Amino acid sequence: MTKAVTTMTIFDVDHYSDADRDIIIDSYPAHERDARSKGIPQLGSGRIFPIEEDAIKEPAPILQDIWKRIAGLDFGWDHPTAAVWIAWDVDADVYHLYDCYKLKEATPIIHAAAVKPRGDWIPMAWPHDGHQHDKGSGKALSEQYKAQGIKMLENHATWEQGGNGVEAGIQEMLDLMQTGRLKVAEHLEEWFAEFRLYHRKDGKIVKEYDDLMAATRYALMMKRFAKTKPRPNTMKFTSDWG
């Protein structure tokens, strides 16, 4: 038997006027509006980020050289290795998540080949499991990426005051979303797919399908190490030898 899923939104219902639709949509909790009005899959009461997507979406930003950059990497194999890139507008104190990457069952060489062209000068935050040594090479994961030209930070991701608590990271992300200081480029569908399904069960975070969420958390934890893009050396030297 062939099966198909057809998504119908409230905007496809012809007998509602625009005013009727606005009243119905406004009656839904903010974090449920996309699911109820547009049919976008997401989890309800267990959602970790009860934020309407439109509140954090933005067109792909035009990156400014004065904005500081930081990236975050989550290691994986059976589950994907994932990375995100964030540009921090320090003056406005807004974080623009403008790119992401996600791939499973690939080696550090493959991942590094995809990550490096996005900016080999951008500091990369990484989790504590980057200290684990590969049984084949004997090298720590973080060192393998460093050897491939990725600017791995010296130590794994921690808060400035110490520790690397997940709950603190989630609260930081939620605070930034609620205050309009974390914006995500609207074309990053893989990131939003995780955002919709990131949830708790029985009060505990479900550690599945959360790779880009984790990478985002690591990047924000280490934002104190964000750097501006290096300027090309335009200094000209003259010779006294005519």
**How confident is the prediction along the chain (242 residues), in pLDDT tens digits per residue?**
454 445 556 566 666 676 666 565 555 555 455 545 555 444 445 899 999 999 999 999 999 999 999 999 999 999 999 999 999 999 999 999 999 999 999 999 999 999 999 999 999 999 999 999 876 678 999 999 999 999 999 999 999 999 999 999 999 999 999 999 999 999 999 999 999 999 998 888 888 899 999 999 999 999 999 999 998 875 454 444 43
Distance CA 44, CA 29 (A): 10
Kindly write down the DSSP assignment for every residue of 151-193, as one continuous string. Answer: -B-SS----TTS---HHHHHHHHHHHHHTT-EEEETT-HHHHH
**pLDDT computed for residue 240 by the predictor:** 43
- The crossing angle, in degrees rounded to 10, of helices 166-178 and 211-221 is 90
CA distances (Å), origin 167, targets 48, 89, 101, 201, 221? 10, 25, 24, 15, 12
All domains in the chain, ordered by first residue: 10-40 (no CATH), 55-225 (3.30.420.280)
Tokens of 202: 């029985």
pTM for the full model? Answer: 0.78
Cβ(49)–Cβ(177) below 8 Å: yes
